[in-house]
Amino acid sequence: MPPDRPDSARPSPPDAGRIPQHIAIIMDGNGRWAKQRGLPRIEGHRRGVETVRTITFAARDLGVRMLTLYAFSAENWRRPQDEVGALMMLLEFYLKRELANFIANRVRLRTIGRTEELPPGVRTVLAHAVEQTKHFSDYTLVLALNYGSRSEVMDAARAYAAAIAAGREKLNDDSWSTFSRYLYSADLPDPDLVIRTSGETRLSNFLLLQAAYSELIFTPVLWPDFSKTDLAAAVDEYGRRERRYGRTSEQLSPAASK
């Protein structure tokens, strides 16, 4: 393992249960973390970036294949402009700093969202990082940037309608598999587990369609304090749950009903 790999101590794998192959996280609580310590909000975001670094590799060490992080929502533009500007600068800094680690550790970077609306400098650095890591396949980090599930549905519906008008799709094809090809996440698996930090218990316009059958875990831990141990505990909890997809327990395990 390259010597500059952050936080290289491996978390202990869960004692039992299945490992979610795709985890999505709503990273919440940076501002509250800073406020509790009498610090500016941006300090909370800076600390949150370090947690991103830790959890990215902790998830892979647990056997997760894909991690999606809600990094900047379509609604976050409503925040004070100085905070938005600082967040964009932090994003650019993070991408520049981490690219070497991504390459050394074979991490593929992907994005979902209206990234074309991000500042030019961020778009340039982001495109470069995506291009440089696109050939890796073992582990994928997805950043949801300028992302909103409702915007995604509108963009998908518009593209789907255009495909029907052009004769590439059939009007009477009402299958989910067909429509889902027009989502930002078209070639990505749905998340098995969605985690939200900070104690809030809502999805906040995040992967509303993709998370239809995801397991949900809400933790009171603020994102800057979210650790490898917290992640392992969430994965362990996931492993104890039964995912039925509309079926009964007996259908999933006929032997148990005998």
pLDDT tier at 1 (50, 70, 90 boundaries)? very low
pTM equals 0.89
Six token digits for residue 109: 């970077």
Q: pLDDT tens across 169-222, in order?
A: 998 888 999 999 999 999 999 999 999 999 999 999 999 999 999 999 999 999
**Residues annotated as part of the active site:** 28, 76
Strand 107-112: give its sheet, edge to edge. Answer: 107-112, 139-147, 66-73, 22-26, 193-196, 215-218
For 3, residues 6+ apart whose C-beta sits below 8 A from its C-beta are none
Question: What domains lie within the chain, and their CATH numbers?
Answer: 22-148+190-238 (3.40.1180.10)
Question: Which residue ranges are tagged as binding site for Mg(2+)?
Answer: 28, 215
Question: Which residue ranges are tagged as binding site?
Answer: 28-33, 41, 45, 73-75, 77, 79, 196, 202-204, 215
Q: Which helix (H) or strand (E) holds 107?
A: strand 107-112
Whether 2 has a pLDDT exceeding 50, the answer reads: no
